[in-house]
Amino acid sequence: MENIIMGFKERDDKMTFIMKRIIDFSGKGPTNEEIQHENLQKEAKLLKKAIKGQFESVDPPLYTYSKPYTQMIGRLRKLKNYQPPKFQQFDGKGNPHQHIAHFVETYNSVGISGDLVSPYPRPAH
C-alpha cells in the first residue's frame, strides 16, 4: 500500500513541477509570440503525458471477497459424501413464491435451519 501512495506522490510532484514551469513560462520569457506558443505547446504535451501516464499506471483496485453466508455456516464441517443440492435458476416464467418456497425447503432439508435464507421473505401460502 505504501508503494501505491509513494507512486501517487511522485506523480503529483511531477505534475506540480510541470504546472509551475507552465505558469512561470507564461509570465516570462521571450517576447516572440511564436517561440512562446511553441514552448507552451511542448509544456502542454509534457503535462498531457504526465496525466495520461498517471491514469494508465494506476493499479486496478483491490476488491475484497466476502462470502455470501455467515461465519457460522463457513465453520460447519461437510460430510465426506456431501453433495450440494442442485438448484434451478428462476427463469421468470413460473411462480416466484413457489420457487422461493422450493429453495427454502431444499435448504431446510439439508439441516441448516434457514440461516442461508434469512435475508429472503417467507412466501405467503
Whether 79 maps to a domain, the answer reads yes
Regarding whether 73 and 118 lie in a shared domain, the answer is yes
Regarding whether 48 and 74 lie in a shared domain, the answer is no
Q: In the prediction, which pLDDT does 86 show?
A: 73
User: What are 2-57's pLDDT values in tens digits?
Assistant: 777 777 788 888 888 887 777 666 655 555 677 777 888 888 888 888 777 766 65
C-alpha cell at 41: 505547446
pTM exceeds 0.75: no
User: What are 50-101's pLDDT values in tens digits?
Assistant: 777 766 655 666 667 778 778 888 888 877 787 776 777 888 888 888 888 8
> How many independent structural domains does the chain possess?
2
Whether 37 maps to a domain, the answer reads yes
Regarding whether 77 and 50 lie in a shared domain, the answer is no
Boundaries of domain holding 85: 68-125
> Residue 107: CB partners within 8 Å, gap ≥ 6?
85, 114, 116, 117
Q: In the prediction, which pLDDT does 29 show?
A: 53
- Whether residue 117 is predicted with pLDDT greater than 50 in this model: the reply is no
**Residue (of 75, 15, 77) closest to 44 by Cα position:** 15
**Last residue of a domain, which of 35, 56, 77?**
56
Regarding whether 95 and 42 lie in a shared domain, the answer is no
Whether 61 maps to a domain, the answer reads no
